[in-house]
Every structure is written in C-alpha cells, then in structure tokens.
C-alpha cells in the first residue's frame, strides 16, 4: 500500500512560487501602488518563510537528534542536503551569468558579485539558496548541540535583530555607536534578509514541527487567524511610521503565523497523484527561472505590470513543464530542480 504524502504542502509550495513572482513583477503597480504594496507585504511575504520551514521539516525528518551532530548518518544527510542545494545554486548561477555580465557592463563590481555569491545570492532572487544552506548548517549545529529550547531562543534573538534593522534601519542608524555598527554592517552585507538573521528561526520551526502536537481544526484556525491579524497590525505600524518599503520582509508575527499555517497543512495527507508531483517540481523551477523572463519583460513592458506577471507565469510554467518532461529521459537535467 502506498504511503500518504503531504499533498497540501505541494499545493501550497506552488502557490508560494506564484507569490514570489508577484514580488518581482509588481502586477498592480499601474493600478494602485498602495494595493500592490499591501498584497506584496500582507500576502506574498508569507512565501519565503514558508519555503524555509517546509525545507527544514523535510530535512530534519531524516535526522536522529538523539544521536548528536557527530553521528555519521546525520552528517551524511547534512552533506547530501548541502551538496544538492549547492549544486542547484551553482547551476542557476551559471544560467544567470549573461544577466550578471550585463550588470557588470553597466558598472556593477565583479568583486561585489563574487562576495554576494556567498552571502546575498549570485542573482537577487537566488539569495534563498545560500541562505537556506547557511541556516540549515547553523540550526543543525545549534539544535543537536544545545537542544530545542536554547536553539529557539538564539535563533529568535537573531531574527529580532534582523527584523529591527530590516524594518527600522533608517531610525536605528541615527543612534550613536549602535547606528555606526549597523551602517557598517549594511554597507558590507546590504541586508539582514539572509541565512544568519532571517533563515534560522524558520529552520527551527521546521525542526520543531517534527514534535509538535496535533491540534484541532479550530485551534489551527484560531492560531492562524490571530497571528495573521497581529501581522497586519505590525505591518500597519511600520507603514504608519514611514518605514515600509518594498524590501521590508521581516516581521515578528510572521513566526507564529508560519508555525500554525505549516502545522495545519501538514495534517492534510493523501495519496500523491502525478499532479502533486508536477506542482512540487514546478514550484522549484518557477522560483529559480522566473527572473529569466521578468527582467526583459519589465524593460519592454514596464508600464504593463499585470501583463508582465501573466506572461512570466505562463513562460515559467511552460519552461518548468519542458524541463520536467525532458528530465524523465535525461536524468542529468534534474540538477535544475
């Protein structure tokens, strides 16, 4: 008998990929800048924390926490994960080299690009991949050495620091001494949305969900509803204070929202169909490939953002379908996803 799969997670991953495309194409910008920003922040910002948490949940299913971080099987699983994500990152870094070359031709620093390959992503949407690797490595060491509670506290503190700089960086840089340190950090690393400050708390959530109690539908709904309402309130405060911008992405209330949301989705299990497999594979490919189409289309159709969004979705999905189809015959193409 076939085992049941996390089919709701597969569907949610696909939807999250579509939300990421929204972030990079601004579909409603021509209609209403405010509406575009609201959807981007209130809805689309859920996507990346969701990806972090689900990736961590699937990874830590294979880890024997009691065996410790030095355990040969655990280390083999860690190396396999880092190798797989690292290869995916390398392949798509190479694919985007023509776009990088254009940026360098237009004055971007090649040394800065080399630095960004390790810390901020070789191309701006690819930051998720090195951040995922670093976050998993950090949490693997913390969790298996210090345990769940201490690791959650440390990762939570990192996230709070990152969220403060991400949301109120302009204000914090005015504070003596602290402001100088923050300014220096931002000058070097550009953002706290990375594998040190952003990712670890969501990786910890993925590990925590391995042992989370099963709750009733009412409890999940209540947890999601309250967390989301508080998230909107938090975003409203940042907006009202004049600190909201399109790169604002770290919110305190995102943490409980993702916890309850992913917890609820993990309870929905069914026999996976070919469609579920297709959606799972497509979500990864849409995420990594959509900028190939978004960049030229935004240049050509810059005043028609909704049209750009639709075309990018169609083109990315067609490319994903083609790669998935060809990979059934040429297995080496699976390195693309």
Give pLDDT tens digits for 177-227. 999 999 999 999 999 999 999 999 999 999 999 999 889 999 999 999 999
Q: How far apart are the first and last CA of the chain?
A: 28
Give the Cα separation of 337 and 334 in Å (integer).
6
Residues ≥6 apart with Cβ < 8 Å to 189: 119, 120
Inter-residue contact 237 to 173 (CB < 8 Å): no
Range 305-319 average pLDDT: 99
State pLDDT tens for residues 63-106. 999 999 999 999 999 999 999 999 999 999 999 999 999 999 99
Give the Cα separation of 53 and 196 in Å (integer).
15
Segments making up each domain of the chain, as ranges? 7-130+206-336
Range 13-41 average pLDDT: 98
State pLDDT tens for residues 5-26. 999 999 999 999 999 999 999 9
Give the Cα separation of 157 and 214 in Å (integer).
27
Check residue 4 and give its pLDDT.
83
2: pLDDT strictly greater than 70? no
Check residue 302 and give its pLDDT.
84
Total-model pTM: 0.96
Give the Cα separation of 181 and 164 in Å (integer).
14
Inter-residue contact 111 to 36 (CB < 8 Å): no
59: pLDDT strictly greater than 90? yes
Give the Cα separation of 195 and 201 in Å (integer).
10
More confident: 302 or 237: 237
Give the Cα separation of 105 and 114 in Å (integer).
15
Question: Closest by alpha carbon to 199, among 64, 50, 9?
Answer: 50
């Amino acid at each position: 008998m076939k085992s049941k799969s996390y089919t709701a997670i597969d569907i949610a991953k696909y939807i999250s990929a579509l939300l990421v495309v929204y972030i990079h194409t601004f579909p409603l910008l021509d209609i209403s800048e405010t509406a575009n920003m609201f959807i981007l922040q209130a809805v689309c910002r859920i996507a990346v924390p969701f990806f972090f948490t689900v990736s961590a949940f699937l990874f830590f299913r294979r880890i024997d926490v009691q065996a410790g971080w030095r355990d040969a099987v655990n280390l083999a699983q860690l190396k396999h994960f880092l190798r797989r994500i690292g290869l995916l990152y390398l392949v798509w870094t190479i694919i985007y080299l023509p776009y990088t070359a254009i940026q360098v031709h237009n004055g971007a620093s090649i040394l800065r690009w080399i630095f960004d390959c390790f810390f901020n992503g070789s191309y701006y949407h690819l930051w998720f991949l090195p951040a995922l690797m670093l976050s998993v490595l950090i949490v693997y060491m913390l969790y298996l050495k210090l345990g769940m509670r201490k690791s959650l506290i440390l990762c939570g503190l990192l996230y709070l620091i990152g969220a403060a700089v991400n949301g109120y960086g302009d204000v914090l840089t005015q504070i003596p001494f602290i402001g100088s340190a923050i300014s220096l950090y931002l000058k070097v690393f550009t953002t706290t949305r990375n594998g040190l400050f952003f990712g670890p708390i969501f990786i910890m959530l993925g590990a925590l969900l391995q042992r989370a109690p099963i709750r009733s539908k009412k409890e999940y709904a209540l947890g999601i509803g309250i967390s989301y309402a508080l998230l909107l309130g938090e975003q409203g405060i940042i907006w009202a204070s004049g600190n909201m911008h399109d790169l604002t992405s770290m919110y305190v209330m995102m943490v409980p929202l993702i916890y309850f949301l992913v917890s609820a989705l993990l309870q929905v299990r069914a026999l996976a169909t070919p469609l579920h497999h297709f959606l799972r594979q497509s979500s990864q490919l849409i995420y990594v490939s959509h900028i190939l189409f978004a960049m030229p289309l935004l240049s050509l159709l810059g005043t028609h953002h909704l049209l750009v969004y639709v075309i990018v979705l169609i083109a990315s999905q067609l490319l994903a379908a083609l790669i998935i189809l060809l990979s059934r015959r040429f297995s080496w193409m699976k390195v693309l996803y």
